[in-house]
Amino acid sequence: MQINGRTILHGIMGNPVSHSLSPAMHNSAFAALDLNAAYVPFPVSDVAAAMTGFRALGIRGVSVTIPHKQAVIALLDDIDPVAAKIGAVNTLDIQHGRIIGHNTDWLGANRALAEKTELTGKKMLIMGAGGSARAIGFGLLEAGAHIMLASRTAAKGIELAETLGCPWHALEEIADLAADCLVNATSVGMAPHTESSLVPQACLARYTVVMDIVYAPQETKLLREAREAGCQVVNGLAMLLYQGVAQFELWTGKTAPVDIMRDSLLAALATK
């Protein structure tokens, strides 16, 4: 790809952001569709200044990652209704100087799960009470699923469960719970703590599908034990891929080259 005066710029803002796999994913998609566009990391500490800069420089679209998903909201011109419910924005759609906030994390999670199971009417157990659990919870509610929450921290868990309108359970109760799908929306199992899991293996046969948002390693201890228990498994790379697919299609209006984006993520992950 040759960058020139007509190149349409996109990026990802966060702090830190150099580790992100998103540039590899989006740039491969731009190249595959022969689009004169580029996607770069934006390390940002001053969110307000960055938002002013995006407007002034004509940046087309920006992914938003930790720790700025909430801070950008006050600086938007408009916000998608589901992103407003979630209270977090991971995507900026910028046109004619106006910035509209979206959340594609829930779209990514729903699409990844929907490859394995129908969502409407299914019972879903989400582990965690942070931003990822919140986005996945609201997304599953949008899809017509029935959800319940389990977390290590009672105060956060109860607060989120009340917001979602669902039951909350202490994580210590996990051996007594069952659902169609289990979603780990915590960082437990992430490298270098790859031999950690929140769920005893003996409990996993109660679930048809087990999803882990962790993507490094691609197969966490939870997913390995779930597969051995006969469950269908979904790794975190699928959610990362499909939230990026939703971003790409929002920004370009074109159908994303999913297989190419997946391959680029796998290749980028292999170099980490």
Cis upstream peptide for 167 (omega within 30°): no
Residue owning tokens 């031999």: 195
Task: Look at the block and give the residue holding tokens 């977090």.
Answer: 88
Contact between residue 269 and residue 237 where contact means Cβ atoms under 8 Å apart: yes
Interatomic CA distance for residues 211 and 133, integer angstroms: 12
254 among known catalytic residues: no
Rounded-to-integer distance, Cα 251 and Cα 267, Å: 24
Cβ atoms 13, 254 nearer than 8 A: no
**Burial of residue 229, with CB atoms counted within 10 A of its CB: 0-12 exposed, 13-18 middle, 19 or more buried:** middle
- Contacting residues for 197 by C-beta, under 8 A, at least 6 apart: 188, 189, 220, 221, 222, 225
- Give catalytic residue positions: 69
